[in-house]
C-alpha cells in the first residue's frame, strides 16, 4: 500500500512539469487571460503533493525501522526532490515571464 506513494509521487511530479509546458505551447491559442494562472497553481500544487508523498513514504520507513532502505535511497530521494522543485519553479517562472504582458492589457 505504501508503495503507491512512490507511484503517486512520480505521477504528480510529471504533472508538475507537464502543466507549465502546456501553458508555454498554448500561448498563441489561449483567448482567456487568466487560464495560465490556474495551470501554474496546479503545477506548484502537484509538486508540493509529490514532495509530501515522499515525506509520508520516508515516515513509513522510519516507523517500520527499515534503516537499510532509508540509507540506500535517501541520497537519490533528496537529489531528485531538489531537481523536481527547481525545474518546476523554473518552468513556472518561464510561464510567468511569457504571460507577463498578456495579463497587464
Q: What are the pLDDT tens digits along the chain (105 aa)?
A: 888 999 999 999 999 999 999 888 876 666 656 678 889 999 999 999 999 999 999 999 999 999 999 999 999 999 999 999 999 999 999 999 988 876 555
The helix (run of H) or strand (run of E) holding residue 20 is: helix 3-25
Query: Domain range spanning residue 48?
Result: 3-69+78-104
Query: b/e string for 38-48 if b means 16 or more Cβ within 10 A?
Result: ebbeebbebbe
How many domains are there within the chain?
Answer: 1
pTM: predicted TM-score of the whole model, two decimal places: 0.87
Q: Which of 78, 92, 99 is nearest to 46 (CA)?
A: 92
Amino acid at each position: 500500500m505504501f508503495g503507491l506513494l512512490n507511484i503517486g509521487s512520480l505521477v504528480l511530479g510529471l504533472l508538475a512539469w507537464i502543466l507549465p509546458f502546456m501553458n508555454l505551447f498554448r500561448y498563441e491559442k489561449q483567448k482567456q487571460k487568466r487560464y495560465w494562472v490556474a495551470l501554474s497553481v496546479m503545477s506548484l500544487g502537484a509538486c508540493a503533493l509529490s514532495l509530501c508523498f515522499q515525506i509520508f513514504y520516508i515516515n513509513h520507513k522510519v516507523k517500520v525501522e527499515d534503516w537499510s532502505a532509508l540509507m540506500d535511497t535517501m541520497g537519490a530521494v533528496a537529489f531528485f526532490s531538489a531537481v523536481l522543485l527547481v525545474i518546476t519553479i523554473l518552468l513556472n517562472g518561464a510561464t510567468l515571464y511569457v504571460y507577463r504582458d498578456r495579463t497587464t492589457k
